[in-house]
Each structure stands twice: as structure tokens, then as C-alpha cells.
Chains A and B, each alone.
Chain A
Amino acid sequence: GENVEQHPSTLSVQEGDSAVIKCTYSDSASNYFPWYKQELGKRPQLIIDIRSNVGEKKDQRIAVTLNKTAKHFSLHITETQPEDSAVYFCAATSTSGTYKYIFGTGTRLKVLA
């Protein structure tokens, strides 16, 4: 079945450095790729998303890139801050036949002050 692999599972960076999280999806019909941030004890919240007709999207310190040929997409956080510490989930979904949401297994990001 459809699958989304996410790496790494944990990531520690020094404050001010960049962090990159990568996801690979299996369903070639996937055309929407959101990223969610979940702080400890809280609900997931969308931070950025990208559609299959776009290769890159940026929002201040956060960017997402998509490589449809290789079927992978990445989250880039620049100038990391302690409040970026959280678990990040990627996801993939399509509008072809099924409307399932497939999430990755999550990346726990720790920003060290």
C-alpha cells in the first residue's frame, strides 16, 4: 500500500543552524504534501504545504522542496530557534481514487541553546 518514509527520526541542532527533514512517498498519484508541527502535549498544526505543480515554497525561515521524479520532499528550517523544538510530520495525499492521508513517522527536532 501507500507509504511515506521520514528521516531522521531524531535531529539535534545548535541554535542558529539549519535543520533538514526528508520524506519519500510511494504513491505516484500523490499531489499534496503538508508538514505538521506537534509541540509536546499539543495537537499537530500545519506549518507549510506544497502541491505537485510547484517545486519549492518558502515562508520566512521555513521552506519545502519537492522532487516528483524521485518522489521525495524535504522541510528546511533555517536559523533555528529553541521554539522550533517539536515533532515534525510530513504527509502525502492524492485526489486520485482515494483521499487517504498518509503521514510519516515523525522527526523529533531538538534545538540546543
Chain B
Amino acid sequence: EAQVTQNPRYLITVTGKKLTVTCSQNMNHEYMSWYRQDPGLGLRQIYYSMNVEVTDKGDVPEGYKVSRKEKRNFPLILESPSPNQTSLYFCASSPSPQETQYFGPGTRLLVL
């Protein structure tokens, strides 16, 4: 089944404790993105990747890191989480930036 998976789905952590949210797709897509969704602000792109080893900043990259060592995986890393990073996070993939993006199920993060 073609899909985008994210783990974990829910996470409660404390300020400063490094965490990684994994994202994997099995559709051989080139383009992958991370978004955060906050009430009233819509979906904001954090980082995107055009291909392996090619990543670039979206609109809200501060406090986040990503890597793309394999085509299927695009982990999101929060080196020192802060409460303002409490949000709902979505990973998405598509064959190219101008084709349908397939979203993962979301990861709800609470930083205390």
C-alpha cells in the first residue's frame, strides 16, 4: 500500500531534550516536506528536500534540522525543543513539487 508513515504519532517531552520524528514513504517520491500546523496559521513549511542530500529551508526552519540520506526517509530533528514548538507536524511527499502531495498521519508534539 502506497503511504507516508510518521513516528511517533504523539509525543510529550521537556524543554531541551533532543528528539527525532521519523518520516518514511514507499512511493519513490523525490520531493519531501515537513509542515507544522497551528490554529489560525494553517500549514507552514519547515524544510523540504528535492532529492537525496538536497534540502532547503521552508518558511519556519528555526529550531529544526532535517536530513535526507536515503530517498524514502526524511527525519525531522529538534535539537533543543522549546514550548513554542508544541504543534501538529505533518510529513508529506510527492513525485515533484508540482504534483499531489501525500501527507503522513501527523505527529502531535507537546513540549513542556
- Which chain A residues have a beta carbon within 8 Å of chain B's beta carbons? 1, 6, 9, 31-32, 34, 36, 43-46, 49, 51, 89, 91, 93, 95, 98-106
**A-B pairs with beta carbons under 8 Å apart, 26 shown:** A1-B59, A9-B40, A31-B98, A32-B98, A43-B90, A43-B106, A44-B103, A46-B100, A49-B100, A51-B98, A89-B42, A93-B98, A95-B97, A98-B56, A99-B50, A99-B97, A100-B45, A101-B35, A101-B48, A101-B58, A101-B97, A102-B45, A103-B35, A103-B43, A103-B44, A105-B42
Q: Which residues of B contact A32 (CB under 8 A)?
A: 97-98
- Across chains A and B, which 4 residue pairs bring their CB atoms closest together, nearest first? A43-B103, A105-B42, A32-B98, A103-B43
Nearest-CB distance from B13 to chain A (Å)?
Answer: 22
Q: How far is the CA of A36 from the CA of B42 in the complex (A)?
A: 11
Residue B2 is within 8 A (CB to CB) of chain A in the complex: no
How many CB-defined contacts (below 8 Å) exist between A and B? 61
Contact of B90 among A9, A44, A51, A93 (CB under 8 A): A44
Nearest-CB distance from B30 to chain A (Å)?
Answer: 10
Residue B41 is within 8 A (CB to CB) of chain A in the complex: yes
